[in-house]
Chains A and B, each alone.
Chain A
Amino acid sequence: MRYRFLVLIFVSLGLAAPVTAAEVKQKQFSNGIKLIVQEDHAAPVAMVQVWLKVGGRDELPGKTGLAHVFEHMMFKGSKKLAAGEYSNRIAAMGGNDNAFTSHDYTAYFETVPSARVDEVLSMEAERFGHLALKDEDFQKEIRVIMEERRMRTDDNPNSRMFEELSAAALRLHPYRNPVIGWMQDLEKLTIHDVRAFYKTHYVPANATVVVVGDVDFKHVQKVVAHTFGKLKKRKVEPRFNPVEPEPLGAKRVTVELTARLPMLAVTIPVPVWHPGDNDREAASLAVATHILAGGRSAILNRSIVDEQRKAFSVSAGYDPFSMGLDLWFAYGMLGPKQQADVFEQALWKSIRKLEKDGPSKAILAAAKRNMIADQVFAQDSLYLRAKQIGSMETVGIGADQMEVWLTAIRGVSAADVQQVLKRWIRPERSTTGLLKPKNDSGGA
């Protein structure tokens, strides 16, 4: 463990020294498959991830949840492997595998001893190209997914409320639909939908293979050339990326569910990062959100929870690394004697105060330092490193842009923070959701 030298990391704050100097090596194959490798020889392990430019956002009306259903079907057998055998083989290598789906992407991943990476890539390419997609497997798996929805959304008042909130906030952008899908759509999906989805989206030019760990780039390149590289080149359509119309005024939704305590959340459509285009604006939104809710000294927590006692927990978030737009959010969990409208006023008052006064030098410096430190701490996990590379590549930012982002963060001024709050974080652009506890028998 002492001979880890490939990942060199510098953390000088004043200068624009790189935080992550581990080289990201890339190769594009003629059929459109892309390979990205970050070598790290610290331990004899590797993280293999296959990223697809398809997610919940690419679903057609009436077919919500299909991207995620498809992800489950990837484990249901291929030409060479029976249903379930994929995971069994990975387990036998001493590895583990899983997959995830978001609005913007779908990714499959395996953590394995590095000596087994070739085999994993070959298995991944095989199922990518030759999935079985049998109706009997689909019939079982769709029931599994309905249970997943019941567990995570239907029986979880907070999740349910956020689902309603997103649907109310956006008019035409597909982020308004839940990635798990509406139950009403899940009930109607068929194996034919799954097969059509496969044909349209599981095309080499939509895929990026990411390997981080104890591997040699040149060798992996050869293996990918013989596996994914052999898949037939096919045309891909550009992704659906609509422009959400500007909000025309504040919106409000009340969600009445069996719950113990209320919650109030506010969401606002804001721009995401387009490198070279809005670096300062996106970075300023990220810094402003961190100042409001990021650290131990976060303004919202300090003013609303600790001082005013208007909520027992408060949070806010912004994801600059998605496609098209982000739904910026803030929410408060309300205790038995705390009022939703009072919290809501306090939330906006805190935001307006930061906009008016601007952050102090110390607060701004601390926010930047913590955001950069997060990037260093993330280097400790192969999973997070691969995920960052894969997601940034897949949403169109580029795998090697993290330094550009951190440079933008370093450049944010107090005036920039004030400016983005003034421009974007406004009540008339917001949708507010209230989880209102409904008392029925059982009183969950």
Chain B
Amino acid sequence: MKRVWMKGVFVVCGLLAWGNIAQATASIEEARLENGLRVLLMEAHDVPMVVMRLTLPAGSRFDPERKGGSASLLAGMLSDHTAKHDYRAWADMLDAEAIRLGAGADRESLNLSLTVLKEAMDTGVAAFAEAALQPGWSKKRFEIMRSDSISAEKKSLEQPGTQAAMLAASLLFSGHPYGHRTGGDVESLSRIRLQDLKNLYHNQFRPEGSILAVSGDVTMQELLTVLKPAFGNWKGSPKLALKDINMPAVVAGRSLHKDMPTRQALVQLLRLGPARHDDDFFAAMLMNHILGGGGFSSRLMTEVREKRGLVYGVYSYFVPLTVPGPFAITLQTRADQADHATEVVRDVLRDMVSSGISARELDAAKANLSGSFAHRMDSNAKRVGLMSMVGFYGLPLDYLQTWPEKIQAASLADVQRQVQAYLNPEQWNQIRIGPAKTQ
């Protein structure tokens, strides 16, 4: 119940977790099982533990129509019990060996993760494979998990952030596979049947196109010795590949409001952002860093918080996906100052478009991003996250090592082009969650 209060929020979003990387790193070792599963490893022998994550193209964009939340529920089911162990026996077995098994989904991927002591690695990997490849499909557990998910979704509607995410998805991606929250909502969860999860699993849960990223106290040889028997019999390719998705339609100048009897209003400006494979990805990242991705040094933070004291936090981020994902600027402030704060944000956008950014500003952003390289990869969990991204999106294996060079290589003109491409205020949409305006 004790809470710690901070000067600023740690922002961990898709962009930061998967966008910013580190230096002076060991290289990634790669192996491929006969069934097509790619295995990526970074060895780190300082702590006797191993972390791994299996990432598959089975995220919420693959949810059946009107059944948002299927991928998340599937992830929950896979880690809850198996064909060989009911949920009680399964939990007892994992806890006996301190085997931490996790599962989750985001827009594009479903993942299973394992954190295990080195001494329990063999048992841990066997359990990990059992969860992945021998689903139990207990009808009773499905009903319980779905019902609890519905309650949790309902509870989360108390948070303005949840309401904003729902509104944002429907505004930017109406009719598109990115157009709903990963966890679904009360109605969509109610429509999901166990068979939907079985179908999703059958279609998408395949070794081809999947990535197993590993970091920790293990060598590739040791790893393959346990992986081959555990995953060797798994076969096939997913029905839909990552690239099988339409471009979302451009939406501009729209405005939506949702009433909530809160003290603050949450305002979010939204548009489509860069995709994962864009040629100008690094220039776009620098542009966002200067705008509102770079914490206290960013323009938004300087103008809205530091100079005017209007907010605790104001951030910008884009989520780089297979096709353009959301690019958002978000703030929360006392409802009666929300218009003022939003105007300051729009002024920042206008100013960046009309006056551009300075060489000094760009150098500072480059220094921060490339200098922070090492500590963005300083734990097993972080390394596994980055390798999963590299593997899942088919980026070259030296992507992490060459990351700082690519940041340094972006020119002022490159970044200015990104400013022109993305920051014109006319192209942004706006959502507002909070009390109805009285003035």
Contacts and interface: CB of A to CB of B under 8 A. Distances in A.
Interface of A: 1-2, 4-7, 9-11, 40, 42-45, 68, 71-72, 75, 83-84, 87-88, 91-96, 98-103, 111-113, 139-148, 150-152, 154-159, 162, 165-166, 178-180, 258-261, 267, 295-297, 302, 305-306, 309, 312-313, 317, 319, 322, 327, 329, 333-336, 338, 362, 365-366, 369-370, 372-373, 376-377, 379-382, 440-442, 444
Contact of A444 (B158, B305, B369, B372): B158
B332 to A, nearest CB: 5
B7 interface: yes
A373 B264 CA distance: 42
Contacts of A362: 92, 96
A45 B374 contact: yes
Contact of A148 (B151, B157, B312): B312
Contacts of B35: none
A1 B44 contact: yes
Contact of B3 (A44, A113, A179): A179
Nearest to B372: A94
Given A43-B24, A91-B368, A312-B148, A101 B4 contact: yes
A110 B349 CA distance: 30
A144 B311 contact: yes
B43 A2 contact: yes
Contact of B259 (A98, A101, A442): A442
B91 A144 contact: no
Given A83-B306, A380-B381, A72 B7 contact: yes
B261 A312 contact: no
Contacts of A144: 305, 309, 311-312
A442 B295 CA distance: 33
B52 to A, nearest CB: 14
Contact of B302 (A9, A84, A440): A84
B154 A261 contact: yes
B26 interface: yes
A313 B95 contact: no
B403 interface: no
Contacts of A151: 264, 312-313, 332
Interface in B132-154: 144, 147-148, 150-152, 154
A33 B144 CA distance: 55
Contact of B309 (A44, A111, A141, A152): A141
Contact of B46 (A4, A100, A179): A4
A45 B375 contact: yes
B377 A327 contact: no
Contacts of B380: 380
A42 B144 contact: no
Contacts of A302: 88, 91
A140 B309 contact: yes
A352 to B, nearest CB: 21
B2 A102 contact: yes
Contacts of B155: 260-261, 312, 333
B367 interface: yes
A44 B88 CA distance: 44
A43 B378 contact: yes
A335 B151 contact: yes
Contacts of A166: 1
B186 to A, nearest CB: 10
B210 interface: no
A98 B6 contact: yes
B332 A147 contact: yes
Interface in B243-258: none
27 contacts: A43-B24, A43-B374, A71-B5, A72-B7, A88-B364, A91-B296, A91-B297, A94-B367, A96-B372, A98-B10, A113-B371, A144-B312, A147-B333, A148-B5, A151-B312, A155-B160, A157-B158, A259-B158, A327-B1, A329-B1, A334-B151, A338-B151, A366-B98, A379-B47, A380-B380, A381-B379, A444-B262
A177 to B, nearest CB: 12
Nearest to A322: B2
A99 B147 CA distance: 39
A362 B93 CA distance: 10
A84 B301 CA distance: 11
Contacts of B148: 305, 312-313, 335
A380 B332 contact: no
Interface string B1-41: 11111111010000000000000111000000000000000
Contact of A7 (B46, B87, B367, B374): B46
B16 to A, nearest CB: 11
B435 interface: yes
Interface in B290-327: 294-297, 302, 305-313
Contacts of B2: 102-103, 319, 322, 327
* 4 cross-chain pairs, A with B, having the tightest CB-CB distances, nearest first: A94-B371, A4-B46, A140-B309, A335-B151
Nearest to B26: A1
Contacts of B377: 43
Nearest to A391: B4
Contacts of A366: 92, 95-96, 98
Given A91-B368, A102-B4, A156-B159, A11 B117 contact: yes
B94 interface: yes
B72 interface: no
A75 B332 contact: no
B185 to A, nearest CB: 13
B295 A147 contact: no
A9 B48 contact: yes
A83 B10 CA distance: 21
Most buried by A among B46, B51, B97, B312: B46
A120 B294 CA distance: 19
B58 interface: no
Contacts of A42: 44, 46, 378
Contacts of A373: 98, 117
Contact of B262 (A2, A155, A336): A155
A372 to B, nearest CB: 8
B166 to A, nearest CB: 13
A260 B91 contact: no
Nearest to B312: A148
Contact of A312 (B5, B6, B151): B151
A319 B2 CA distance: 8
A165 B160 CA distance: 23
A113 B373 CA distance: 9
Nearest to A101: B5
B235 interface: no
Interface string B252-277: 00000001111110000000000000
B334 interface: yes
Contacts of B46: 4-7, 40, 42, 379
A162 to B, nearest CB: 6
A141 B306 CA distance: 8
Interface in B158-203: 158-160
A41 to B, nearest CB: 9
B49 interface: yes
Contacts of B7: 71-72, 75, 98-100
A336 B95 contact: no
B119 interface: yes
